Structure 1
Amino acid sequence: MDSTERYLVGVYDDDDEVLQAVTTVKKSGIKIEEVYTPFPIHGLDVAIGHPRTRIPIAAFLFGCLGLTCIFSLINYTMVFDWPMIIGGKDFFALPDWIPVSFEGTVLFTAFGMVGTFLVSNSLWPGKKPRTFDLRSTDDRFILTVNMANNKKSESEIESILKATGAIEVNVKQF
């Protein structure tokens, strides 16, 4: 991260106001970096323009990996490494492997999704968090605008944010 990243931070005290502000700010040609809220706001992701998440695809792929690994482990141990006749069944007794395969699939998916979450949100040990305003975890709604991504001046963007209902507009540098 470059130390000269400048952000304008609009602080709102109402969820409806911030949702209206997002649409107004986007219509005026300003690119919004992110909106931080203490609770989810229905329709905010669509208003900001976030693409549809690919997390279900990742979960499916982790599940397939888990199923393949567990199935391979069971097949190796029960057919090749230590074949035993249990209850008069064949070494390759697929119905008996279903519960263990299901549990392995769930285990790989869970661990894979935790890892995906940590990597995609940059939550590794030693990472300094980028906090625009601590009140966003309590009762305020924070709309951030990266000045490097916008052609309008800082004073223009500040006046637009105040016109949309921001109770304060701050400059934050990282």
Structure 2
Amino acid sequence: MEGSSKVIHAIYTDDDVLMAAVKKVRAERYHIEEIYTPFPVHGLDKVMGLAPTRLAITSFLYGLVGLVVSIVMINYMMIEDWPQNIGGKPSFSYLENMPAFVPIMFELTVFFAAHLMVITFYLRSRLWPFKEAENPDIRTTDDHFLIEISAGTNVDEQFDILRNTGAVEVTLIDKAH
């Protein structure tokens, strides 16, 4: 059938059983399309063989942008545009007053890193307002775990392997692209 492919959904009720099942499925060289879980499972990304995320690098760069923006903003507002004598501190240069500006620089660094990371995460995950949910089984939002693997030529063998790993339910799904 053109425009569709077959996948196998295996449902699990325990995250430890899921981890063992993922190890077994990968050892059998089956391709795992996706895993749906109701909460983050620690170590699942390593067991799946996923590459480490580069989001930490982008967070650091976003923090640097926030630091630069804060320095430019403080220098313009407090030194060049409207210098004020606050608490007897002279406002002749940025460097003389920099210790007083450290909290502002810290807060803007964190602000930029946090907000831009949220935007980056949503864009990278292709999440946006009013997006239709892609979850294939509503139970995975509560207390079940689902492994979705590509159906090979020997589906019965795949079913047996998944059942032997502790799957409580295994089904063949015709998934449209």
TM-score by length of 1: 0.84
Q: Supply the distance in 1 between the matched residues of 2:150 and 2:72 (Cα, whole angstroms).
A: 49
In the alignment, what sits opposite 1:140? 144
In the alignment, what sits opposite 1:62? 62
Give 1:3 shift. 5.3
Partner deviation per Cα, 1:113-149 (whole Å, 9 max, x = no partner)? 21122112221023212112111121211111134xx
Give 1:38 shift. 2.4
Alignment of 1:102-117 (within 5 A): 102-117=106-121
Q: Supply the distance in 2 between the matched residues of 1:68 and 1:96 (Cα, whole angstroms).
A: 16
In the alignment, what sits opposite 1:173? 175
In the alignment, what sits opposite 1:40? 40
How many aligned residue pairs are there?
170
Give 1:9 shift. 1.0
In the alignment, what sits opposite 2:158? 157
Q: Relative to structure 1, is the Cα distance of residues 98 and 5 closer, same or farther in structure 2, using a 3 angstrom cutoff?
A: farther
In the alignment, what sits opposite 1:25? 25
Q: Relative to structure 1, is the Cα distance of residues 91 and 84 closer, same or farther in structure 2, using a 3 angstrom cutoff?
A: farther
In the alignment, what sits opposite 2:7? 7
Letter in 2 for 1:58: T
Q: Relative to structure 1, is the Cα distance of residues 131 and 72 closer, same or farther in structure 2, using a 3 angstrom cutoff?
A: same
Q: Supply the distance in 1 between the matched residues of 2:34 and 2:134 (Cα, whole angstroms).
A: 12
1:123 and 2:123 correspond: no
Alignment of 1:75-94 (within 5 A): 75-86=75-86, 87-89=88-90, 90-92=92-94, 93-94=97-98
Give 1:95 shift. 1.4
Unaligned 5+ residue runs, structure 2?
Answer: none
**Seq. identity, %:** 39
Q: Relative to structure 1, is the Cα distance of residues 62 and 163 closer, same or farther in structure 2, using a 3 angstrom cutoff?
A: same
SS of residue paired to 1:33: strand
Q: Supply the distance in 2 between the matched residues of 1:38 and 1:69 (Cα, whole angstroms).
A: 39
Letter in 2 for 1:11: I
Give 1:21 shift. 1.1
Give 1:88 shift. 4.4
RMSD of aligned alpha carbons: 2.2
TM-score by length of 2: 0.83
SS of residue paired to 2:64: helix
